[in-house]
Amino acid sequence: MPLNEAPPSRSAHSSHAHTATDPWSDAGERSLDAESPLTAAQRRRYLATRALNFVLAVLALLALLPVFVLLALLVKLTSRGPVFYLQERVGLDRRGPGPDAQNHRRVTDLGGRPFTIYKFRTMHVDAERHSGAVWAAQADPRVTSVGRVLRQYRLDELPQLLNVLKGEMNIVGPRPERPTIFAELRSHIAEYPLRQRAKPGITGLAQINHHYDRSLDDVRTKVSYDLEYIRRQSLREDLRIMLKTIPVILLRRGGW
């Protein structure tokens, strides 16, 4: 069940509801190097959003530096392997919206620009050697004892502040997925690629209202939240979601 708000009125199960109107409106964020030129208003919104995310990421990194050091030591001393876990994720879709838009830059359409995400390592080394790319599960044996605590409080996501500094992510936005899982999900959920119209984030409307994914129905619910966020995206909305993220983390809502 959602934690803080009722689900958006538009059902994520209906592909017609989302494909009829592209949520990437003037209120949404577009990349400066998208194929279509930005209007002056869009450029101002982009620069304001970028400045806010950069400043907040710098302040958070400085304030949380002792926490970073402590978590790094805990990860290193309690299990074999590196402190950080690097993984490819699907980022912002920089192509223009519409059925005629083409991407001439990549042989394979991944759904968005790939980038490397940073996380504190929460699993044993080579945890996916036999299983491949799969969702984490509750009481997952691949997760370390320290990693389980980091996941419950979402502390493993803190290094993604570096992704925010690099401009690959925002603090608020749809969570980025791995290319292999992204390809599978978009084959089951027609609206799934539309969430790439916003830059991915560390937290988001879906994260403050729903738990970790356990099934396709969970993903559909989160997609509905992601598209709702894109439709009403603004600095005010981002700040509201940031504030609502704090009790979600402290009370371990939706994490395991």
172 has which bridge partners? 203
Query: Residues 6 or more apart from 186 whose CB is under 8 A from it?
Result: 111, 192, 193
**pLDDT, average across residues 207-232:** 91
| Spatial distance between the Cα atoms of 53 and 94, rounded to a whole number of angstroms | 19
- Spatial neighbors of 105 by CB under 8 A, at least 6 apart, are none
Q: What is the H or E stretch that residue 226 is in? A: helix 216-231
Q: Render pLDDT for 115-172 as a digit per residue (tens, 0 to 9).
A: 999 999 999 987 666 555 565 666 678 899 999 999 989 999 999 999 999 999 999 9
SS3 call for 159: helix
Instruction: List beta partners, residue 118.
Output: 86
**Residue 218 vs residue 6, higher pLDDT:** 218
- Residue labelled with tokens 């799969």: 134
Cα dihedral 89, 133, 85, 57 sign: positive
Separation between Cα atoms, residue 29 and residue 155, nearest integer Å: 27
pLDDT digits (tens, 9 = 90+) for 7-66: 444 433 333 333 334 444 444 444 444 445 668 888 888 899 999 999 999 999 999 999
Do β-strands 201-203 and 170-172 pair in parallel, antiparallel, or remain unpaired? parallel
